[in-house]
Amino acid sequence: MQSSSRERQPRRGVAALAAAATGLIAGLALAQATPEPAPAAGPVQVQANAPSSHTVVKGDTLWGISGKFLKTPWRWPEVWRLNKDQIKNPHWIYPGQVILFDPNAPGGPRLYLQQPGDVGPGSVVRLSPQIRAEARAEQAIPTIRPEDIEPFMLRNRVIGAETFDDAPQVVKSVGERVAFSQSDAIYAVGVKPAMGKVFQIFRKGRELRDPAIAPRPWYRWHHANPDPQIIGYEASYLGDARLLREGEVARLEIVSSKQEVQIGDYLIPAPPVETMAWVPHAPEVKVEGFVMTLPNGVSEAGKTNVVTLNLGKRHGLEVGHVLAVYKSAETFANPRYKEHPMNWVPGWPKISGSEPVTLQIPEERIALVFVFTVFDGVSYGMVMNSGVDNVRAGYPVRNP
C-alpha cells in the first residue's frame, strides 16, 4: 500500500504541474487577446478666433463646421457630449439650424443646437412667428462630402483570395464578342441560388501586401501555399448584372456598366445599400498599422485623397475612426561634417569633429485619416488634413 501511495504522489505532482502550465498558457493567450487600451487624449484645443455661433447652410459638413471652433475637428463628438449610442446613431443637423459654442462650459468646450429660448454666448434671441417642419434625413448635412468617397463605397472592394476562388465567373457571352456592356447577356459558372439574383461585376486587381508581415523567402515558395503577406486584392468595379436563368451555366444580363466586361471577370452578390451617419471618433483600443496603397494611383496622397490601411474589423477598427499618419524618422548625412585631416594618418588616434556624421529628423505627425469603409483586415480612409508633407505608402498610422 505504501509503495502504491508513493507511486500516486508523483502522478499528482505531474498533474498539478500540467494544470498549472495549462492555466499559464491560457492566461497568456487571454492577455494577448485582450486589446490594449488607447492612449489618453489631451484636452480639446479651441481655435483662437472661434465664433460664438454658426448658422448651418447647404454644402456645410460637420467636419468643416467643427473646424471653425476646434483645432482638432474630429473630436467634435466630445464637444457635442455624444455618448456611444449617439455616435452610432447621431441626431441629424439641417441647414437653417444655429450651432452655439461655449468655450467655457463646465467640463470643457461645448457645441449645441440653439433651441427656442436659448441664449448662447454673444447671441440674441429674436422672437417671431415660426413654422417648424420636420426635414428629411436626405437633407441633413454630412460628416464629410459624399462625392469625395462615393466611388469607394460600393464601387471598390477589398476581396480575399478565397472569395475570388469561390466567386462565380463570366465564361462566355451570347455571341462571339470578347467584351460586353449594358444590355448584353452573359454566361457564368458558380452561381448558386443562395447568392440571390443581383450581382456586381468585378475584375481582380492588384494584390494588397501587409507591410507588417515579413516577405516570404524564395526557398519557402510553393504554388499550393498562399503568400501570408497578401491579405487581399483590390477589385475594380465594372457594372451590375441580373440573374435570368439558374443552372450549372447560368445566364445573366448586364443592367449597367462602367467598363467593358470580359471573360474571366467575377460576380459578387450585391451588398445591401445602407445609409450610415459617420461620426468621427478615436479608437477605444490601441491601434497601429501602415498605409498600404494609394488606390487612385498617385505617389502621394493629399487632402481628400483615399488610402488603404492594413487594419480592419479584426484589429478593432470601425467606420468613423480617426487615425493619425506619421512620417517615419529620417537619417541622412550631415553636409556640415568634415573629418579631421589627422584621421587619415595610419596609427594616429581618431579625432572626432565638432559636427555629427549624420543627422536625424524625428518622427512627426503629418495628417489625419477618416475611416469610411472597413473590411476584415483592410480598410479605406480619406486624408482629412495634411501638413507640410503628403502621405506616402508605408507611413505608420496609429491613435490620434
What share of the chain has pLDDT > 90, as a percent? 12
Least confident interval from 55-69, 83-97, 158-172: 83-97
pLDDT at res. 235: 82
The confidence band for 289, taking pLDDT boundaries of 50, 70 and 90, is very high
**Residue listed under C-alpha cell 451590375:** 240
Residue 79's CB is within 10 A of a number of other CB atoms, namely 23
**Cα–Cα distance measured from residue 298 to residue 284, given in angstroms and rounded to the nearest whole number:** 32
Least confident interval from 58-67, 153-162, 358-367, 386-395: 153-162
pLDDT at res. 180: 86
**Cα–Cα distance measured from residue 374 to residue 317, given in angstroms and rounded to the nearest whole number:** 7
The confidence band for 83, taking pLDDT boundaries of 50, 70 and 90, is low
Q: Identify which has the larger pLDDT, 114 or 246.
A: 246
Q: Residue 8: in which H helix or E strand, if any?
A: helix 2-33
pLDDT at res. 342: 66
Would the pTM of this model clear 0.95, i.e. be above it?
Answer: no
Q: With helix as H, strand as E and coil as C, how does 185-237 read?
A: EEEEECCCHHHCCEEEEEEEEEEEECCCCCCCCHHHCCCCCCCCCEEEEEEEE
pLDDT at res. 103: 85
Residues 6+ apart with CB under 8 A from 389: 327, 366
**Residue listed under C-alpha cell 467598363:** 259
Q: Identify which has the larger pLDDT, 172 or 270.
A: 172
The confidence band for 266, taking pLDDT boundaries of 50, 70 and 90, is very high
| E-assigned strand segments in the chain | 53-55, 98-102, 110-113, 156-159, 169-173, 179-180, 185-189, 198-209, 230-245, 249-257, 261-262, 266-269, 288-293, 306-309, 322-327, 330-333, 358-361, 364-374, 379-386, 396-398
Average pLDDT over residues 295-314: 82
DSSP-based three-state secondary structure for 31: helix
**Cα–Cα distance measured from residue 147 to residue 231, given in angstroms and rounded to the nearest whole number:** 28
**CA dihedral (380, 381, 382, 388) positive or negative:** negative
Cell, residue 140: 441633413
Q: What is the pLDDT of residues 43-57, one digit of tens each?
A: 788 888 888 888 888
pLDDT of 164 above 70: yes
pLDDT at res. 249: 92
pLDDT at res. 32: 43
pLDDT of 209 above 90: no
Least confident interval from 41-45, 322-326, 378-382: 41-45
pLDDT of 297 above 80: no
The confidence band for 199, taking pLDDT boundaries of 50, 70 and 90, is very high
Average pLDDT over residues 261-284: 77
**Cα–Cα distance measured from residue 65 to residue 67, given in angstroms and rounded to the nearest whole number:** 5
pLDDT at res. 265: 92
Q: What is the pLDDT of residues 105-143, one digit of tens each?
A: 887 888 877 775 555 544 443 333 333 344 444 577 667
Mean pLDDT score across all residues of the chain: 75
